[in-house]
Amino acid sequence: MRKTIIAGNWKMYKTLKDGQELAVALRRDLYKIENTDIVICPPFTLLGFLADALESSNIAVGAQDLYWQEEGAFTGEVSPAMIKDAGCLYVIIGHSERRQFFDETNETVNKKIKAALKCGLIPIVCVGENLQEREADKTFKVIEEHINKGLADISASDMSKIIVAYEPVWAIGTGKTATPEQAQEVHKFIRGLLSKIYGQEAAEGIRIQYGGSVKPENITELMNKPDVDGALVGGASLKAESFAAIVTKASEVTK
């Protein structure tokens, strides 16, 4: 049995005051949930404050990116140790917005995953095709490259700590969710790829989240699919009401 994991990616939203209010509201609304890992990923400026606000709660904090070097003259970058030191347990790596706007490649994703693991952070590794690639029937090819190159030289024991997030780019922020069947098809494909590399037993233990226009209205049917183990939520994670509803509904799905 894989434990459900729901993460909120706040992207470049929320000042300190708004972020604190949201964290306090989530703590209040979700304190009873035990069977689901809950994560929020605010911008860097809020990490330390929100890790403090959520201390000894059931909500963990994650960063949205990191740099792979330990320290040095890398203006504007944040190291794995700094993220850990701010109180984070997770870090999102390879989000499609980083691939699209900030030159993230499968090679930099691979370096970042290794740096995160070395520091004891849990990587949430994003993979997914864009609309053009889906329409050209290249979805599986793109995913295969993201997995094979992004996870190159990662050992089976390290892989057991990693979360994979399937985020079809065409479903992000568009209100156009992949159907549960489309999500399941790709999740199953990803698990098959992981099984080829790490063996079936290891692959069965790896959690794969779906991301892209997840809302309280569609979480249950997505979670009902056998290979969907959670969600990476963007827009709907910015309000306590919708994020708490998503977490609560996901926690109620038994497989």
Catalytic residue list: 95, 167
Q: Bin 230: left if φ > 0, else alpha if -120 < ψ < 50, else beta.
A: left
Nearer to ligand 13P, 65 or 167 (CB): 167
For residue 97, the minimal CB distance to ligand 13P (Å) is 7
Contact (Cβ atoms closer than 8 angstroms) between residue 213 and residue 191: no
Strand partners, 122: 90
Return the number of other C-beta atoms located less than 10 Å from residue 34's C-beta: 7
Nearer to ligand 13P, 88 or 232 (CB): 232
Tokens of 40: 């929020």
For residue 7, the minimal CB distance to ligand 13P (Å) is 8
CA pair distance 123, 163, nearest whole angstrom: 6
Nearer to ligand 13P, 6 or 198 (CB): 6
Nearer to ligand 13P, 95 or 225 (CB): 95
Rule CB under 6 A: which residues touch ligand 13P? 9, 95, 167, 172-173, 211-214, 232-236
Q: Bin 175: left if φ > 0, else alpha if -120 < ψ < 50, else beta.
A: left
Q: Which secondary structure element, helix H or strand E, spans residue 230, and what is its range?
A: strand 230-233
For residue 96, the minimal CB distance to ligand 13P (Å) is 7
